[in-house]
Amino acid sequence: MTIHRLLGARPLTEKTKYHTKNPWHYDLVVLDEASMIDLSMMEKVVQALKPNSRLIMLGDKDQLASVEAGSIMGELGSFIDNGYSQSHCDYLKAVTDYQIEAGNALPIGDCLSHLKHSYRFGEKAWIGELANAVNDQKINLSWEIFDKYKNSDKLENFCYPETKETTDKSSWIEKSVQMVVDKAV
């Protein structure tokens, strides 16, 4: 179900059926692909929660942000780098028997989890290598991985939409810039 439908969005208006004065009856709301949610929509979601409801947001902090203003998952994801508080580390140790070192956490950090293992593709798969290099901001390594696999059967033709040509990175960039210039003129 879409968030718009869940909120009871009304056509041609910003009003929704569910809001602060008419909250959802749910105790738990789970939002998938939360990186796509903009600030305005998230405000509506939070306003529709009843006071004791739980909100779980699933998403990739490194995925493209929402089209409208607000990069909620990116902003929340930045807190994970501070680690967890000592009390939260103690709690996690009690329930998992796994010790995590406490960090310099803000209270919101104790509400976040960062899953690092992808079941979509293995760490050794080229796309996993590329994703890790991009996330680690290793630009040269990213291009090396791309160049290594660009002509293999592991990578579909990296096509330029209008010409359907397989291109290398420099000509692709040149053509992309030229398309922008042509459309602007």
* pLDDT value, residue 107: 82
Q: What fold is seen in the domain 3-81?
A: Rossmann fold (3.40.50)
pLDDT of amino acid 36: 82
Query: Phi/psi at 128 (nearest 5 deg)?
Result: -65, -40
What angle separates helix 126-135 from helix 139-149, to the nearest 10 degrees? 160
Angle at CA of residue 30, ends 84 and 86, nearest 5°: 10
DSSP state of 31: E
pLDDT confidence of residue 47? 95
pLDDT tens digits, 135-171: 778 888 888 887 787 766 555 544 445 554 544 555 6
Q: What is the DSSP letter of 78?
A: G
What pTM does this model have?
0.62
**Ranges of each domain in the chain:** 3-81, 83-115, 126-184
The first and second tokens of residue 50, run together, are 């009843």
pLDDT tens digits for range 74-105: 777 777 778 888 988 898 889 988 888 888 87
Q: What is the pLDDT of residues 35-70, one digit of tens each?
A: 888 888 889 999 999 999 999 888 777 676 666 676
pLDDT at 49: 95
DSSP H or E segment with residue 30: strand 28-31
